[in-house]
Chain A
């Protein structure tokens, strides 16, 4: 049906768009090895020097640990809240059910600056002083939806009668969770958690407003870009941030693909197979 020429045109277009997507990432990767501290192109001499400078920089180190702590705490809270909400929405019909999904998407759809100043006003109203937890709360607002989406999708594909069967066989709530729900949900939770981690780790706008004087890695980058200082170190840190977020994303994609969420064959077929899939307990 498709003509050969239009197939080739589409392939070339796709290649160009992918090249466009990767071009800036490659450029910033190359600048990390630039020995000059002037950001000019072409790069004339190469060095690993800035990696060692960044590694020994105490500001970079403390920013890195703060980012890790924030991302871990955010991921933990988002997993619990997102899973609970997903379980309620996927399994029960109630008034305002559609509104819940709508509400959870809001923090992703509304600009970060609005979330940021709103939270700042809220902390002020509520008398909450700035700490690592004010950042975590900010990040949790938009990370919950990532877990929620993954878990809702998974629950919709599994049969609710599994839980009833487990109860009929005398399992208590914990056993049902551990031996029935967990095998069904585990990959969705792992993937959701990894994505929430990645999202939190490199978030900058909401962090900017909720962090006060604390410096996460993205805030470190922003500060130095704005002042035009330490740009060679910024390049190294930027490359590092890309790498750190790429790992959980690749892992999440792998986990979900093996369990069939990212579908390989025609959708209808895989979906039918998945609907019939009974997890090994």
Chain B
């Protein structure tokens, strides 16, 4: 070889240092992985996980009812209050979970046929258009969309106007749990459409042909081939519809009534009373539910479908 080793070392000292670094990283891949991963992971662990831990620690403290200062004495009083059956907090959690489940089911029912149409029936042009039509509401401001519903559901809003026009009386949906259900189903719907679409799109056409060749009806193919393969997508979507409903407070605050009790609203009220320890204790309920839910979802392969 005519090329001597020095040729690779040519150039400015800076370049030589960079080359040596590349060589070092190539010889020791774990070092490169470590160098790449440490800054984002450390930042994330310190700030985000650290923050969750800070909240959790605070939940064992209490608040001085006169000064509203946090007192650093350890106790389980906040948890005892929340799990006390004579208090409303467990019932509120139950209602929240029920609404979150109802929203998830509604979204799955609304989203599946649309996702199926997009993935398997629409022409590529229509599909691209539908994709944008789902994507834009997904990314447009959540607050603005809830606010839009506030005006739509209001007493002199569009819905009552349309009902009156058709000869019906007013339907006073505003400030009820029905309103909360509608608005939650609305705002999280795109989160359900996209993962189901991704899952359906991956099903090879040959599976459906095989099912038909073996004599299965369309319904049978749907039940035995398509649904099981789409399930990870549905679960991936449900992570969002369920968990986002579970901890949200803006929707119940803006379209729910004064009596609408929600985990998120209660936490928000505790914070309003400067009772962060109690808020932290109550927040462990949705966190625990979501932790279990995420673990189950991961086992079902939903993360691949995200």
- Contact of B298 with A114 in the complex, beta carbons under 8 Å: no
Residues from chain B with a CB closer than 8 A to the CB of A7 are 121
- Contact of A125 with B54 in the complex, beta carbons under 8 Å: yes
Q: Bound complex: CA of A220 vs CA of B280, how far in Å?
A: 27
The count of residues in chain B whose C-beta lies closer than 8 Å to any C-beta of chain A is 106
A275 within 8 A of B: no
B77 within 8 A of A: no
Which positions 226-241 of chain B face chain A at CB distance < 8 Å?
A: 239-240
Q: Bound complex: CA of A154 vs CA of B246, how far in Å?
A: 33
Given known A-B contacts A7-B121, A110-B247, A113-B264, A92 and B33 have beta carbons under 8 A apart: yes
Residues from chain B with a CB closer than 8 A to the CB of A27 are 148, 151-152, 158
- Contact of A218 with B55 in the complex, beta carbons under 8 Å: no
Q: Bound complex: CA of A117 vs CA of B6, how far in Å?
A: 58
- Contact of B298 with A84 in the complex, beta carbons under 8 Å: no
- Contact of A14 with B117 in the complex, beta carbons under 8 Å: yes
Residues from chain B with a CB closer than 8 A to the CB of A226 are 253
- Contact of B140 with A202 in the complex, beta carbons under 8 Å: yes
Cβ-defined partner of B114 (8 Å) among A14, A41, A111? A14
Residues from chain A with a CB closer than 8 A to the CB of B168 are none
Cβ-defined partner of A199 (8 Å) among B29, B49, B139, B240? B139
Min Cβ gap A167→B in Å is 6
Min Cβ gap B149→A in Å is 6
Cβ-defined partner of A121 (8 Å) among B51, B118, B246? B51
- Contact of A242 with B140 in the complex, beta carbons under 8 Å: yes
- Contact of B142 with A204 in the complex, beta carbons under 8 Å: yes
- Contact of A238 with B40 in the complex, beta carbons under 8 Å: no
The count of residues in chain A whose C-beta lies closer than 8 Å to any C-beta of chain B is 100
B82 within 8 A of A: no
Q: Bound complex: CA of A250 vs CA of B267, how far in Å?
A: 36
Query: Which of B36, B110, B134, B141 has its CB near the most chain A CB atoms (within 10 A)?
Result: B141
Which positions 200-254 of chain A face chain B at CB distance < 8 Å?
A: 202, 204-205, 209, 218, 221-222, 225-226, 234, 238, 241-242, 245-246, 249-250, 253
Q: A1-B212, A204-B142 provided; 13 other pairs, C-beta below 8 A?
A: A14-B113, A14-B118, A20-B186, A21-B190, A81-B44, A84-B39, A92-B32, A113-B283, A173-B21, A218-B143, A238-B147, A246-B139, A264-B124
Interface residues of B (CB under 8 A from A): 8, 15, 18-19, 21-23, 25-26, 29-30, 32-33, 36-37, 39-41, 43-45, 47-52, 54-55, 58, 110-111, 113-114, 116-118, 121, 124, 127-128, 130-137, 139-145, 147-152, 154, 156-158, 161, 186, 189-190, 193, 201-202, 204-205, 208-209, 212, 218, 221, 239-240, 243-244, 246-250, 253-254, 264, 267-268, 271, 276, 279-280, 283, 286-287, 290, 294, 298, 303, 306
